[in-house]
Amino acid sequence: MARIVVIGAGLGAMAAAARLAVAGHTVTVYEKTSTYGGAVGRFARDGFAFDTGPGLLHLPAVYRDLFVKTGKEPLEECVSLTQVDPAARHLFADGTRVDLPNASRAGTVAALDAALGAGAGERWGDFLTRAREAWDRTRRPLLEEPQPADPAPLAREPYPALKAGLLRRPTTTLAQVGTRELRDPRLAALLDAYAWSYGFDPATAPASAAVLPYMEQTFGSWHVGGGLRALADAVYERCRKRRVEFVFDTPVEDVLEKDGRAAGVRLAGGETVEADHVVSGAPVPSLYRDHVVEWEHGDDWPHHQVTGTGRVTVCLALRGPREADAVHRTVVHAEGGRPTVTVLRPDDPALRPDGDHESVTVTATVRTSPGQDWEPFADGMAEAAGRAVPGLAERLLWRQVRTPEDVLRETGAAEVPGPALAGARGLLLPAANRSPLPGLYFAGGWSHPGGGLAHAGMSGALVAGLIVEGADFRGSQ
């Protein structure tokens, strides 16, 4: 069987490694840092623990499939999964509050009608119907199949938006969907929050980004016991059980080429490792920027999916117990120059020293800006979080601020890659899983089908399929 080298130990790369090992291949993972998980990190101090990457799992079926295909123990025997209900509480700038249930369209419609007025829920429901059309049109080519050799059809907008105005101009951006179809600034803010949470600016995101709220509200949101780092732990252990070898603190400096295809890697220090296939889970732009992979066009790289946004995370250690009616996730919408923030308050004993303390994570999506002083921005985030956490300022023991520069240092890219979206002239399609160099494959959030835990897991499945089945592989079933 084949010798396979994997660059990086992120979730997408490990998902590919486990599947390839089960297929009988010899798999070795080289990771430049001292641990696995990539962007799925953890910060711990004084008995408090915080996820420093994603905070919730969507589409857990992706990882259920991974565990079914790679061993006897199903996912639920390896991690604890709990549906988050309500899925989110939204606090709008005008003081309106609405709690949206998990994976219940009828419940969501009723909640919006009750909080925002009669007709609000119906408009949101009609929007989700159109979003489902975009989902049905793009689900297989964007999620379950390798990116086509000619992605031009995916550059067309699949969202069946209503046409508005005397000139009958079509709706082309998500912000226009909010203005023309939802017709309530609070509903528009609700829609915008979904886009920002995935790293997209609603003003420039295509209307097809409507699939993001559709996906969450249809398939639900899940908390992993112990935080999402526990999922990374479980995938790593599954790889180890399948005899995947991990070599940490070992950067890959170059992908070797022989006879026009990838033939191995050169490690820091000069050692070379031969391979029949190379799978890279590193951010695709960093491969070209750091000359790990040569690209004939100099500083340009051959894929466009760069959102220009990163995330600031503020970890808050609080004294005092979590109140009985607290919810897991609260979205505090922008007000008076303050950013829209997501406040996560999991009721999870593994994340706090004891019942008299609480771990709270606050995140905001921002335009990446090297060298920026993030402390004043974090002050605004904490101020906004105070609307979701009673007495936050008085309860605060300490805080830790994590910036896009921290993400760059740990993962190789300051930006957060978004999931693949159709439309937008194809500019939001990530790198194909087959690289321009035969024998080199891309897995993880910077490759098809894009960013997000579920999407990263799908990329690992697609890469494994391409290597194991070759030209006959047509996608996941």
Q: Are 393 and 385 in contact (CB under 8 A)?
A: no
Where do you find CATH 3.50.50.60 in the chain? 3-40+59-77+226-305+418-472
Q: How far apart are CA 157 and CA 153, in angstroms?
A: 9
pLDDT of the residue at 307: 62
Burial of 164 (0-12, 13-18, 19+ CB in 10 A): middle
Per-residue pLDDT band for 274 (boundaries 50, 70, 90) equals very high
Cis-peptide into 148, omega within 30 deg: no
Where do you find CATH 3.30.70 in the chain? 308-411
Q: Are 231 and 14 in contact (CB under 8 A)?
A: no
Residue 357 identity (one-letter amino acid):
H
pLDDT tens digit sequence for 142-158: 999 999 888 888 999 99
Q: How far apart are CA 211 and CA 194, in angstroms?
A: 10
Per-residue pLDDT band for 372 (boundaries 50, 70, 90) equals confident
Cα–Cα separations (whole angstroms), residue 413 to 114, 205, 284, 417: 43, 21, 9, 9
Nearest to 124 by CA among 135, 139, 114: 114
pLDDT of the residue at 287: 79
Q: Which CATH architecture has domain 3-40+59-77+226-305+418-472?
A: 3-Layer(bba) Sandwich (3.50)
Residues 280-316: b if buried by 16+ CB within 10 A, e if exposed: bbbbbbbbbeeebbeeeeeeebebebbbebbbbbbbb
Question: Which of the residue ranges 243-257, 360-374, 462-476 has the most confident prediction, judged by mean pLDDT?
Answer: 243-257
H/E element, 329 = strand 329-332
The yes/no answer on whether domain 308-411 falls in CATH 3.30.450 is: no
pLDDT of the residue at 370: 75
Q: Please say if the pLDDT value at position 96 is more than 50.
A: yes
Q: Please say if the pLDDT value at position 231 is more than 90.
A: yes
Q: Please say if the pLDDT value at position 166 is more than 80.
A: no
Q: Please say if the pLDDT value at position 464 is more than 50.
A: yes
pLDDT tens digit sequence for 29-80: 999 999 999 999 999 999 999 999 999 999 999 999 999 999 999 999 999 9
Q: How far apart are CA 467 and CA 146, in angstroms?
A: 12
pLDDT tens digit sequence for 122-134: 999 999 999 999 9
Burial of 265 (0-12, 13-18, 19+ CB in 10 A): buried
pLDDT tens digit sequence for 178-222: 999 999 999 999 999 999 999 899 999 999 999 999 999 999 999
pLDDT of the residue at 401: 97
Q: Residues 6 or more apart from 445 whose CB is under 8 A from it? A: 10, 12, 38, 39, 283, 416, 417, 430, 451, 452, 455, 456, 459
State the angle between helix axes of 61-70 and 453-469 in degrees (0 to 180), rounded to the nearest 10: 40
pTM score > 0.75 for this model? yes
Q: Please say if the pLDDT value at position 354 is more than 80.
A: yes
pLDDT tens digit sequence for 294-346: 655 444 444 445 567 889 999 999 999 999 999 999 999 998 878 899 999 99
Q: Which has more pLDDT, 323 or 367? A: 323
**Rounded percentage of the chain residues whose pLDDT exceeds 70:** 95
pLDDT of the residue at 414: 85
pLDDT of the residue at 299: 45
pLDDT of the residue at 298: 41
